[in-house]
Amino acid sequence: MYDFLTGPMLWLTFAVSFGGLLVRVVLYIKGLSQQLDRVAYRAHMSYGLKGAFNSIISFLNPIGARVWRIRPGFTLMFFAFHIGVVITPIFLIAHNVMLQENLGFSLPALPSGVADFLTWMAVVAGLLLTLRRVAFPEVRILTTGYDYLMMVITLAPFVTGLIARYAIGDYQFWLTAHIITGEIWLLSLPFTKLSHVVLFFMSRAQIGMDYGIKRGGMKGSSLSW
């Protein structure tokens, strides 16, 4: 079971997940239309790219956009959640041992204390973001079962990983659960709203190009997001 999950299944998961995300990116770009979007992408590529870059950078920076600055509480939760969710799996030592064994290379590994902290941070921030959906009427009205499902899919590998890491209960069971939930998460990326792992960049680049070309960029106005 373990060998299958970390062998053929893992490769299949990677192929579907990363391949699928790549397809999403390609389809996104192919579906852009100067006429429909009213942005002259080709004619003013340099203004567009400048705008795209400005837009992406502003939102990756927790003080880069006005919306982050005026909502510090949300911003803290949001960045804690995303940093934990993205950084931990990539740089976790256990994952890199697997990478080394299978592919003969590995990435720099996080000290286990830091990895623990980041994982807890992701889980706690994720729970707070979920509570926020219930607590605030302006978020409650938007929230559907699908949003909760996305959170469950995302947090499951982290929760199971923590349980396995602290060896609570049957280690083998929780390790298997961790691998399965991790693979479900990866497989969900291209097919669900989690596709925002790449589409965030596409969408931000697109609106950035819109602003860079049409909505002020060519008038020398750098927009303060």
Partner 1 sequence: MPEGILCNKTPIKTDEQLKLTLSDSRGTKYYAEMLELEVDSDALWALVQKTLKSRTKTWLEICAHCGLCAESCFLYQVNGRTPKQVPSYKIQSTLGQIVKKKGKVTNEFMRHCMDVAWSQCTCCNRCGMYCPHGIDMGVMFSYLRGLLYSQGFVPWELKIGSGMHRVYRAQMDVTTEDWVETCEWMAEETEEEWPGLEIPVDKQDADIMYTCNAREPKHYPEDVAEAAILFHVAGENWTVPSEGWEQTSLSMFAGDWECCKDNVQNVYDAIERLNPKRAIGTECGHAHRATVIEGPYWTGRPDGLPPRPYIHYVEWLAEALRTGKLKIDPAKRIKEPVTLQDSCNYVRNQGLKDITREIISYIVEPGFFVEMSPNKEHNYCCGGGGGFNGIGMYREQRNVALRKKMDQILDTGCKLVIAPCHNCWDAIRDLEEEYEIGIRWSFLKPLVIGMLDVPEHMLPKDEE
> Does residue 145 belong to the site contacting partner 1 (CB under 8 A)?
no
Rounded Cα gap, residues 178 and 132, in angstroms: 26
User: Which of 139, 152, 180, 184: binder of partner 1 (CB under 8 A)?
Assistant: 139
Q: Which is nearer to partner 1, 165 or 214 (CB)?
A: 214
User: Which of 1, 61, 134, 193: binder of partner 1 (CB under 8 A)?
Assistant: 193
> Does residue 62 belong to the site contacting partner 1 (CB under 8 A)?
no
User: Which of 1, 67, 107, 168: binder of partner 1 (CB under 8 A)?
Assistant: 67
User: Which of 73, 104, 145, 220: binder of partner 1 (CB under 8 A)?
Assistant: 220
Q: Which is nearer to partner 1, 95 or 214 (CB)?
A: 214
Q: Which is nearer to partner 1, 161 or 212 (CB)?
A: 212
Q: What is the 3-state secondary structure (H, E, C) of the chain?
A: CHHHHHCHHHHHHHHHHHHHHHHHHHHHHHCCCHHHHCCCCCCCHHHHHHHHHHHHHHHHCCCCCHHHHHCHHHHHHHHHHHHHHHHHHHHCHHHHHHHHHHHCCCCCCCCHHHHHHHHHHHHHHHHHHHHHHHHCHHHHCCCCHHHHHHHHHHHHHHHHHHHHHCCCCCHHHHHHHHHHHHHHHHHHCCCCHHHHHHHHHHHHHHHHHHHHHCCCHHHCCCCCC
User: Which of 66, 102, 149, 171: binder of partner 1 (CB under 8 A)?
Assistant: 66
> Does residue 32 belong to the site contacting partner 1 (CB under 8 A)?
yes
> Does residue 217 belong to the site contacting partner 1 (CB under 8 A)?
yes
The residues that touch partner 1, with contacts defined as CB under 8 A, are: 27-40, 42-44, 55, 59, 65-67, 71, 74, 78, 133, 136-144, 147, 193, 195-196, 199-200, 202-204, 206-208, 213-217, 219-221, 223-225
